[in-house]
Structure 1
Amino acid sequence: MAGNPVAERDAMARARELAHRGPRGVNPQVGAVILSPDGRVLGEGWHRGAGTPHAEVDALSRLRPEEARGATAIVTLEPCNHTGRTGPCAEALLEAGVARVVYACDDPGDASSGGAARLQAAGVAVARLDEAEGEAVIADWLFVQRTGRPRVTVKWAQSLDGRAAAADGSSQWITGPQARAHVHRERSAHDAIAVGTGTVLADDPKLTARIDGDADAPQPMPVVFGTRAIPVDAAVRRHPRGHRTAGHDLERELFGLAADGVQSLYVEGGPTLASAFLAAGLADRLTIYLAPTLLGGPRTVLDDIGVRTIDEQRRLTVTRLEQLGPDLLVEATTEEVH
């Protein structure tokens, strides 16, 4: 069955928009659009969380049975082929009489993949479209499937001479308002935010995302690493998402966070925590704010990260440079692929 290229591409773009309506968590965000043979939109759907109908089934539920027969399903992820809390989407599409399925990226799961092959074996026309764009929608979820842990972003602000604070420990503020506003947008874009107990005791941070004009911005879940007690009146205890404590075994804690649906972690602690993630090879992305100021003194942005000789230096790939008011944003990825 030949498709309608223009209608299918428009529908795939719409499906990506719908996918973002679903919650981030253990399951991927997926959107679907059902098209008539002449390219009209018959129904839309998205996955609303674990245990709810998948996007394809949600979209099919908007149609009368006769509308689904001969229709085209556009979906951002390959229809699943296994029974979990819900049945296999490949079977639901077959039962509905859908004649063509267009999806963006393959399902990486050992148990859930194979939906495209199942559909083709039953005579349904199957095609791929916008793979890179589809993967971008669920990039963090795909990272969790490959590694078993969340994608980790380590952030710090520093003076040009590599200091995170003045000699007396004061650090508010090294950067200007534009850089600090960007930090809050980064917080909101991550599922969880990490600090060490030292930061909680010294700065009593709120760890919320405060974005002008967006009172409903998504909030990251605070994760406090360390063994020292958190004061009963600490601001983190009043966070709208509560907080979680974690020990010193970073990899084990990351696996636990992934099992609970955390796909991305924003590490915003001080030099001790940032250095621990780098030394352990668990920092995937760095977000660094360079302020045009000099502080001198001992408060460097990093402690020991395991580099003993110049041959062991940690090479980075810079992916973004941007001026934020007087400050410079540097985004980079680590050379090693985790």
Structure 2
Amino acid sequence: MTATDRERDAMRRALALAVRGPRGVNPQVGAVLLSPDGTVLAEGWHRGAGTDHAEVDALRKLAPGAARGATAVVTLEPCNHTGRTGPCAAALIAAGVARVVYAVADPGEASSGGAARLAAAGVEVEAGVLSDEGRALLDSWLTVQRLGRPHVTVKWAQSLDGRAAAADGTSQWITGPAAREDVHRRRAGADAIVVGTGTLLADDPALTARRPDGTLYEHQPMPVVLGARWIPDDARVRQHPRPVLHRDGSRLFDEWGDPDGSLLAELRGLGVHRVFIEGGPTIASAFLRAGLADELLVYVAPTLIGGPRLALGELGVADITQQHRLDVASIERLGDDLLIVATPHAVRNEPQEGTR
């Protein structure tokens, strides 16, 4: 049996509920309980570590026995382990739920298996409903579970001829107000923002996430500066509401051989799940060359600059067979500019291990 229209509508509602929960160590999950005739009985979402998971949150809003024969629509496969809370699969079985519909499989080695447990108890299970939307919601969390490091977004702005700055190094502003507003909104969704000292000394960025009126978003990414050069005492980043993390960058990509010594491992240890790279051509190229970019945001302005200041540097491509192929997720017009969102062709958010 495939998902019904009402179940798909309920999944869209569950996705909207999920984002009410905090982004962090635990996934954002939403749930909707439907009666056999498709009426919404209850809704729930996960409010953070140690609190009820979305399914249990919804069940607690019903009288005992009221969920018997119901359908549970959940953004993530019900878990199958006991952590700070009990297994959601067991709670759904005990409540008498007849059918479970979910978007994304739980990647956890310990917490997965909820679907199999439900099926063994006679509960009908439908997987993969609105899976693309579910994975988009959980992208950074899935990356952490799959790769053991934060999700990395590499952003740059360029002219139509691929330049990031004029010959003298100036780069403010290639793109227009709409593109800059979009960048700040995305910064506000990140846990850390990374630049190199070259960009910091040339542009003196504040590295804050600001609204169009200049006020700060409630959530501010941790400013991270890479490079051996000293950050001037009067640099704008020194006024950031969060302390600056300054590293020389020498251990930037050691995680494959020395996981505990790398920058990304350090950031994950600090609770960072989403890293936003704005560091100029040197830093952006380094992350791409190392295969550490999960998402690319390329803002293209309808202007020509020429000269030597390319948006990207050396990527280790010796011949055309080594080119970095991309999957374009979207192309959006922002004022006069274009935003291209892409992912490296080999990146797939289908993790093999993790916890919930």
- How far did residue 18 of structure 1 move? 0.5
What is the alpha-carbon distance in structure 1 between the residues aligned to residue 113 and residue 135 of structure 2? 17
Question: TM-score, normalization: structure 2?
Answer: 0.82
CA RMSD of aligned residues (A): 2.9
What is the alpha-carbon distance in structure 1 between the residues aligned to residue 345 and residue 110 of structure 2? 31
- How far did residue 4 of structure 1 move? 9.2
- How far did residue 270 of structure 1 move? 1.4
Question: TM-score, normalization: structure 1?
Answer: 0.86
Which residue number corresponds to residue 151 of structure 2? Answer: 151
What is the alpha-carbon distance in structure 2 between the residues aligned to residue 107 and residue 164 of structure 1? 40
Is 2:33–2:58's contact at 8 Å kept on the other side of the alignment? yes
Q: Quote the sequence identity (%).
A: 66
**Mapping for residues 276-315 of structure 1, pairs under 5 Å:** 276-315=286-325
Give the number of aligned pairs: 337
**Mapping for residues 143-292 of structure 1, pairs under 5 Å:** 143-212=143-212, 216=217, 218-246=219-247, 247-248=249-250, 249-250=252-253, 251=255, 252-292=262-302
Which segment is superposed worse, 270-279 or 126-135?
126-135
- How far did residue 218 of structure 1 move? 4.5
Distance 1:46 1:157, change over 3 A: same
- How far did residue 47 of structure 1 move? 0.8
Partner-residue secondary structure (3-state), 1:51: coil
Which residue number corresponds to residue 351 of structure 2? Answer: none
What is the alpha-carbon distance in structure 1 between the residues aligned to residue 7 and residue 335 of structure 2? 42
Is 2:176–2:337's contact at 8 Å kept on the other side of the alignment? yes
Distance 1:130 1:183, change over 3 A: closer
Amino acid at match of 1:212: P
Which residue number corresponds to residue 353 of structure 2? Answer: none
- How far did residue 110 of structure 1 move? 0.9
Which residue number corresponds to residue 341 of structure 2? Answer: 331
- How far did residue 267 of structure 1 move? 0.9
Distance 1:205 1:86, change over 3 A: same
Which segment is superposed worse, 152-161 or 238-247?
238-247
Distance 1:151 1:39, change over 3 A: same
- How far did residue 254 of structure 1 move? 2.2
Partner-residue secondary structure (3-state), 2:308: coil
Distance 1:323 1:58, change over 3 A: closer
Is 2:169–2:202's contact at 8 Å kept on the other side of the alignment? no
Distance 1:36 1:285, change over 3 A: closer
What is the alpha-carbon distance in structure 1 between the residues aligned to residue 320 and residue 103 of structure 2? 43
Which residue number corresponds to residue 138 of structure 1? Answer: 138
What is the alpha-carbon distance in structure 2 between the residues aligned to residue 11 and residue 336 of structure 1? 32
Which segment is superposed worse, 237-246 or 89-98?
237-246
What is the alpha-carbon distance in structure 2 between the residues aligned to residue 326 and residue 133 of structure 1? 28
Is 1:26–1:258's contact at 8 Å kept on the other side of the alignment? no
1:134-154 CA distance string (max 9 Å, x none): 333213322322222233222
Which segment is superposed worse, 174-183 or 268-277?
174-183
What is the alpha-carbon distance in structure 1 between the residues aligned to residue 6 and residue 325 of structure 2? 45
- How far did residue 15 of structure 1 move? 0.9
Amino acid at match of 1:187: R
- How far did residue 54 of structure 1 move? 0.9
Is 1:211–1:217's contact at 8 Å kept on the other side of the alignment? no
Which residue number corresponds to residue 76 of structure 2? Answer: 77
Which segment is superposed worse, 214-223 or 125-134?
214-223
Which residue number corresponds to residue 114 of structure 1? Answer: 113
Partner-residue secondary structure (3-state), 1:67: coil
Amino acid at match of 1:175: T
- How far did residue 172 of structure 1 move? 1.4
Which residue number corresponds to residue 18 of structure 1? Answer: 17
1:207-249 CA distance string (max 9 Å, x none): 2222338965644333322344444554334434544444432
